[in-house]
Structure 1
Amino acid sequence: MSISNSNRNLTIQFVDNFNGLPVMADKGPFITEYLEKLRRVIGCAMDAYPRLMAFRVDLRLPNMEGLPEFYSSNKVISRFFDSFKAKIESDRHRARVSSPSAHDTKVRYFWVREASSTGIQHYHLLILLNKDAYHVVGKLGSDNMNMVRRLEEAWASALGLQFHEVSGLVEFPDNSLWWLHQNDAGFAEVLSSLFHRASYLCKAATKKYGQHHHGVGSSRG
């Protein structure tokens, strides 16, 4: 374990597991504090709901000149989650009006900001929801109001763009959806798979420091 040369408040280490959960060892070293935060978010979600839907999604900025100044700060990711959470709350309200027994959900999340080799900023996210409220994300490009559409609309709102202008800016990595049923025999295997894939967000490489705003964030509670 060592102190990061780029940020003295962070520690980095090469590991193949964290608190008994596997990590993508070939992507190391990892930022210990990020792994701790990721584990806490997943734990809070499991404490709240016996069944979870978790998914990974990446948000990218438009590749063009003259971008608004707030694009380079975390204001844009704050705006995204404000919009996304409002959409979830509105949809759950409609569901309860239709059926009083409809399940609610809190949006729990973990995000990191990174920069590509060309310096273009982007965000990697893990989002966790009550599976009894949502169990699918839908398809990109669908005209239906599914989870993908909510994410795209929220990102458009965050960027101050029209919906069609964010085409291609919301991406889902391969194998990026998990259903966690805590009472099922296969729960430990699914949790291990989730943490292994999500540990990619905690790698030290491609993180940006010294820009007066955090490179990581998460839901609270």
Structure 2
Amino acid sequence: KAQIEADLLKRKNAGKRIHPCRVRHIWAREFSRTGKKHYHVVLFLNREAYPYPGNYRSVNGEYSHNLALMIMEAWVRTLGLNHQQYYSLVEFPANCYYHLSKNSVDFNTQYASVTGRINYLAKEYSKDYSDGQRSFGCSQY
């Protein structure tokens, strides 16, 4: 969230047009069959501000400044690592973004695609509640 706010401020100060973007999220904590903990995160952003994540792979060791980079940086900072070598801990799945427009003639199809993808987070078999920690959370509106 802080990186989005800073990025929008930087764009504004550079004289570029900006669109408001309130970050909303859903997260789920899961365990693989071998017991390895991992997280899934869904971000809701204004598509006028961030229509695509951008390239999340380095080119000649350099990363482009885009949404994907901000996500990778946020995650490694959360883990207390702060090093580019750990960006690979963030995985961007195929079809990792969706556009949802309530005024689109395809809204129902878009909505079904988005909710179908989000429902993946609710699968029970990969959750473990025995440690007393939460396995699901979301931002508050």
Task: Tell me the TM-score normalized by structure 1.
Answer: 0.59
Whether 2:69 is the aligned partner of 1:145: answer no
In structure 2, what is the equivalent of residue 124 of structure 1?
40
**CA–CA distance in structure 1, aligned partners of residues 78 and 87 of structure 2:** 14
How far off its partner does 1:188 sit?
1.2
CA displacement, residues 85-140 of structure 1 (integer Å, 9 cap, x when unaligned): 11011011112223475212111010100011111110011111011111110112
Q: Which runs of 4+ in 1 moved over 4 A?
A: none
Question: Which ranges of structure 1 fall in alignment gaps of 5 or more residues?
Answer: 1-84
Partner of 2:27: 111
Residue 85 of structure 2 aligns to a residue whose secondary structure is helix
**What is the identity, as a one-letter code, of the residue corresponding to 2:109?**
E
CA distance in 1, matches of 2:104, 2:126: 37
CA deviation vs aligned residue, 1:168-197 (integer Å, no higher than 9, x gap): 211112222111121110111011011011
Q: Deviations over 1:134-177 (max 9, x none)?
A: 11101122421111111111111111113223132111122221
CA distance, structure 2, for counterparts of residue 177 and residue 100 of structure 1 = 24
Matching residue's letter, 1:96: K
Higher relative contact order (CA 8 A, sep 6+): 1
Root mean square deviation of aligned Cα: 1.5
Aligned length: 137
Per-residue displacement from partner, 1:37-68 (whole Å, max 9, x unpaired)? Answer: xxxxxxxxxxxxxxxxxxxxxxxxxxxxxxxx
Aligned residue for 2:94? Answer: 174
Structure 2: gaps (5+ residues): none
Distance 1:111 1:167 in 2: 19
Deviates more, 1:156-165 or 1:196-205: 156-165
Q: TM-score, normalised by structure 2?
A: 0.90
Q: Which has the higher strand share?
A: 1
Q: Percent identity?
A: 35
Quote the residue 1:206 is aligned against. Answer: 126
